[in-house]
Amino acid sequence: MESVKDKCAVVGIGETEYSRDSGRTERSLALEAIKKAIEDAGLRPGDIDGIVKYAVQPETETDLAACLGIRHLSYFGEAGFAGGAGAALVRQAVQAIVTGAATNVVVFRAVNGRSGKRYGRGEVTGRGGRGDAAFSEPFGLIAPGQGAAMSARRHMHDYGTTSRQLGAIAVACRKHAARNPRALLRDPITLEDHQNSRIIYDPLHMLDCCYEADGAGALVITSADRARALKQRPAYIMATVQAAPGGGDGAHDRTETSAKHKVFAAAGVSPGDMDVVQIYDHFTPWVLMAIEDYGFCKRGEGGPFVEGGRIELGGGLPLNTSGGHLSEAYLQGMNHMIEAVRQLRGTSTAQVEGAELVLVDTAAGALILRR
Amino acid sequence: MSGLPLPVIDSDNAEFWAACKRHELVLQRCGQCKTLRHPPRPMCHVCNSMTSEWVKSNGRGRIYSYVITVQPIHPGLVGKVPLATVRVQLEEGVLFTSNVVGCAPDEIRIDMPVEVVFEDVTQEITLPKFRPSRQVEG
């Protein structure tokens, strides 16, 4: 198989403001973010011939193309796994570009995630007791965070992980958000604040949970050759992987999801080479377990690893430098990918000096970008 | 009252819920390789056989993990919190999501032995729940 390493790059990024109540349609938010990303790249809407979206995004590609005045869409696609689709979108864009199906591809996410349907209340992922949900929802397992809480409880039992260690992740994200004017939660917090925040689903506190928000983000992806002639410093896509859990008996086994670490081999780099990481933080336990999955530390050592400022700016592994889902906005991995590009351009509000390699975890996948 | 969603009975799981109504806990077993599975599904994840049979579980297991939902994040949880949702590892090996009854949520511990009890909810639906085991171990 021919490698697609470094064959494509992210050349444009765009975001709306993040808010608690946009007062706008998700379509309007999507179009604003896409328009900004295209302008950022120095392109025009007519240059775009591909759109890839999250399968949970209700707007159709034809509608968006009509609004943008794109006359011919030669590639359109979508990826599943709800909010975890991020890396899969980028992968589809890369595949479309290297096979000649498209030239310049937009990927995006737009949500009224706070003023509209709430993921945190099971309003999007709830299945009304159908299928496998017949064996979970009647027992009160409704929202994604409850599963995270159950996994966290088992991790605590097996490895001695503590709630305060989870709190260190929330504190780090907030510290970074404090520097970011786009972030919705900017007041610094302490471990005590984390411990004193109300319990939502024990063992998780409110500050272990992402901040649901309204907003949109978009990327423009093109070939490396074209990227070099465009306005911005390209963020080259070294590798992407997709990894959905499957099979088995539903135990909290990380075998499937930990397949994400294959992104390092695909990119030809190792975890220790990463200058900064952006990890999908809908709930703090998933961040801690992802750090283990990627091999930044051994299984079970995630708790001690995140303590003592290691994941804060200036530490050994700065994480979620925009504030992430916990403090900037819950934009389902799109804001993590945008922040990764900013780090490589040198324009983050929590810039890691000279950042050259960034890992982005998008829940059901991962990508590595380089300068 | 808008409660929690009730199980939607379909041809994949009808046998399971019919057994619950009789206050029996059954598990689906592959007709070919005899691997047990839960929840009921049309195919064995080990050998892909689509034939299956139902075997009676002894209803005993241990708490694998649990979450205590404190905030009523869903209308169906109003008046029900704090609610302990548990994952029980049955003695037969499979993991089973349910609730613990007959003990306060803060008394639940991982590895605690539990046994099934049945809660008749509607004419059609009986939910299998678990209580701290009363059987003397050993």
Residue A107: partners with Cβ closer than 8 Å, 6 or more residues away: A51, A52, A53, A89, A90, A92, A93, A218, A219, A221
Min Cα distance A205 → chain B (Å) is: 10
| Rg of chain A, C-alpha, whole Å | 19
Confidence of residue B138 (pLDDT cuts 50, 70, 90): very low
| Closest partner CB to B39 (pick from A134, A143, A200) | A134
Q: How confident is the model at residue B2 (pLDDT cuts 50, 70, 90)?
A: low
Band of the pLDDT at B18, cuts 50, 70, 90?
Answer: very high
Q: For B121, which residue in chain A has the nearest alpha carbon? A: A138
Confidence of residue A254 (pLDDT cuts 50, 70, 90): low
* Residue type for position A217: G
Contact B38 A249 (CB under 8 A): yes
User: The complex's ipTM?
Assistant: 0.96
Q: What is the mean pLDDT of chain B?
A: 95
**Nearest CA-CA partner of A115 in A218, A212, A32, A200:** A212
A263 has a pLDDT exceeding 90: yes
Rounded CA Rg of chain B: 16
B95 vs A: CB within 8 A: yes
pLDDT of residue A96: 98
Q: Dihedrals φ, ψ of A221, to 5°?
A: -120, 140
Contact (CB<8Å) B65/A129: no
pLDDT value at position A258? 66
A236 carries an active-site annotation: no
Q: Mean pLDDT throughout A51-65?
A: 96
Distance from the B76 Cα atom to the nearest Cα atom in chain A, whole angstroms? 8
Under 8 Å between Cβ of B36 and B29? yes
| A117 touching B (Cβ < 8 Å) | no
Question: Shortest CB distance from A134 goes to which of B13, B74, B80?
Answer: B13
Q: What share of chain A is helix, strand, coil (3-state, %, to 5)?
A: 40, 20, 40
Asked if B80 reaches chain A (Cβ–Cβ under 8 Å), the answer is yes
Q: Residue A184's closest CA among A19, A69, A29?
A: A19
Is residue A337 pLDDT above 90, yes or no?
yes
In this structure, whether the domain defined by A8-117+210-370 belongs to CATH 3.20.20.30 is answered with no
* Token pair of A171 as six digits: 């504190």
Residues 30-69 of B with CB under 8 A from A: 37-39, 41, 45, 64-69
Mean pLDDT confidence for B119-133: 97
Contact: B5, A138; criterion CB under 8 Å: yes
Q: Could you list the beta-strand ranges (E) of chain B.
A: 26-30, 36-37, 52-56, 60-69, 83-90, 95-99, 113-120, 126-132
How far apart, in whole angstroms, are the C-alpha atoms of residue A106 and residue A51? 5
CA-CA distance, A366 to A348, in Å (whole number)?
20
Mean pLDDT of A282-307: 96
Percent of chain B with pLDDT over 70: 96
Q: What is the pLDDT of residue A134?
A: 97
Using the predicted structure, report yes or no on whether residue A290 has a pLDDT greater than 90.
Answer: yes
Q: Which chain B residues have a beta carbon less than 8 Å from that of A130?
A: 8, 10
The H or E element containing residue A99 is none
Q: Which of B9, B45, B87 sits opposite A150 (nearest CB)?
A: B87
CB B62 within 8 A of CB B112: yes
Out of A127, A139, A154, closest to residue B99 by CB:
A139
One-letter amino acid at A356 equals E
Sketch the domain layout of chain B as residue ranges.
Answer: 14-132
Q: Is the pLDDT of residue A345 over 90?
A: yes
For residue A256, pLDDT over 60 is answered with no
B72 touches chain A (CB under 8 A): no
**Res. A122 pLDDT band, cuts 50 70 90:** confident
Which of A337 and A71 is assigned the larger pLDDT?
Answer: A337
Residue % of chain A over a pLDDT of 70? 96
What mean pLDDT do residues A11-24 have? Answer: 98
A–B interface: beta-carbon pairs under 8 A: 123
> Is B126 an interface residue toward A (CB < 8 Å)?
no
In this structure, the strands spanning B83-90 and B60-69 are: antiparallel
A165: closest CA among A283, A293, A307?
A307
> What's the pLDDT at A244?
81
Inter-chain touch B67–A150, beta carbons under 8 Å? yes
Cα→Cα distances A130→A251, B5, B86, Å: 20, 9, 20
Q: Give me the pLDDT at residue A251, please.
A: 47
Interface contact A140-B83, CB threshold 8 A: yes
Q: Residues B69-104: pLDDT tens digits?
A: 999 999 999 999 999 999 999 999 999 999 999 999
At A1, the pLDDT band (50, 70, 90 cuts) reads: low
**Given an 8 Å threshold on Cβ–Cβ distance, is B5 in contact with A247?**
no
Does the beta carbon of A256 lie under 8 angstroms from any beta carbon of chain B?
Answer: no
pLDDT digits (tens, 9 = 90+) for A83-108: 999 999 999 999 999 999 999 999 99
What element of type H or E holds B123?
none
- pLDDT value, residue A124: 86
Structure confidence at residue A210 as a pLDDT band (50, 70, 90): very high
Closest CA to A243 of A232, A255, A257: A257
Tokens of A264: 């390092």
pLDDT for the residue numbered A259: 82
A135 touches chain B (CB under 8 A): yes
Round the average pLDDT of chain A to a whole number and report it: 95
Closest-CA residue to A109 (of A325, A288, A349): A325
Over residues A224-230, the mean pLDDT reads 98
Predicted local distance difference test score (pLDDT) of residue A240 = 97
Q: Considering only CB atoms, which chain A residues are within 8 Å of B4?
A: 137-140, 142
A210 interfacial to chain B (CB closer than 8 Å): no
Say yes or no: A229 contacts chain B, CB-CB below 8 A: no
- What average pLDDT does range A262-277 have in this prediction? 97
Facing residue for B67 by CB, picked from A120, A127, A201: A201
Token readout for A94 is: 């890369």
Residue A356: pLDDT band by 50, 70, 90 thresholds?
very high
What ranges do the domains of chain A cover? 8-117+210-370
Told to judge if A330 belongs to the known catalytic residues of this protein, a careful annotator would answer yes
